[in-house]
Amino acid sequence: MEAAVADLNFAPPVATTDGRVAGERGRQTRQRLLDATVELLSTTSWRSVKVTDIAREARTSPATFYQYFANVEEAIRVLAEGMVDEAAQLAELVGGDWSERSSWSTALTVTEGFLSYWEDNRAVFRVVDLATEEGDRELRGIRVRALNAVTVALAQVIVAACPAPGDASGQTTASPAGSDPMAVAGAIVAMFASVSAHRYGFEYWGIRTSPLIDTQARMLHWAVTGREALPQVFLSTEAPRTASLDTASTRRSAT
């Protein structure tokens, strides 16, 4: 599994544990350590991941790790905060063109974008969910912030696409999925998260990714616009389709 790597040319200043500001080489080293952490989290129980394991995976030393992180838990929190930043990109996809001409393409873009977002952060989401179940309030708050950004953006889109007659406040919607836009958006985002988390279980049951994307996109499209999408025919040889957030953004711009 490859971790998403930020463009170091535009990366914000990174402080070491002793307060110094890391240069470009230091930022690259820190990113290697984060990438190594993700790689280990995708194959190992997070409670079993040690600093020495991360340093070895990153081809550096434990002493170097401690220049950037106090412990493994701090590295995980940095990765989790990164999910919040990526969720902002996903929220931008949600705010795409929902006109009758472009709404189906937008629904597909958002659905594919969410699946890509989850895949990019699958290992970290798994740890965050486990830690949340164990009562870690900080990681639970990070998870809520990440998904809330998408939920709020979607609720705003639902109100704009299906405004409730006579309600100028924007607190209700005429969406066929429900009158409370946050409830509708929350249910859709929860569906996305659950399906994305169980994607490989579905594949084990013989349910391919492409029909899963299509089904979710139809539910999203219906909830936002109140319109049905065109019929879709899947070929048995069709490959699963997922798109990165960058790819999804490109397709949205082209519509």
pTM for this entry: 0.78
Q: Which residues contact 57 (CB under 8 A, 6 or more apart)?
A: 36, 39, 40
Q: ∠238-241-245 over CA atoms, to 5°?
A: 165
Q: ∠146-120-193 over CA atoms, to 5°?
A: 50
Q: Which residue has the higher pLDDT, 12 or 34?
A: 34
pLDDT at residue 22, as a whole number: 59
In angstroms, the CA 171 to CA 181 distance is 7
CB 76 within 8 A of CB 127: yes
Amino acid making up residue 165: P
Cβ of 5: how many Cβ atoms within 10 Å?
11
Amino acid making up residue 248: A
Q: Which residue has the higher pLDDT, 246 or 67?
A: 67
Q: Calculate the average pLDDT of the chain.
A: 84
Amino acid making up residue 93: L
End-to-end CA distance of the chain: 31
The answer on pLDDT for 21 being more than 50 is: yes
pLDDT at residue 11, as a whole number: 52
pLDDT at residue 25, as a whole number: 86
Amino acid making up residue 23: G
Length of the chain: 255
* Average pLDDT estimate for 154-162: 96
In angstroms, the CA 145 to CA 143 distance is 5
The answer on pLDDT for 244 being more than 70 is: no
CB 162 within 8 A of CB 175: yes
Bridge partner residues of 15 (DSSP): 21
- pLDDT level of residue 245 (50, 70, 90 thresholds): low
The answer on pLDDT for 232 being more than 70 is: no
* Average pLDDT estimate for 102-128: 94
* Average pLDDT estimate for 33-59: 92
In this predicted model, what pLDDT tens digit does every residue of 83-97 receive, in sequence order? 988 998 999 999 999
CB 16 within 8 A of CB 8: no
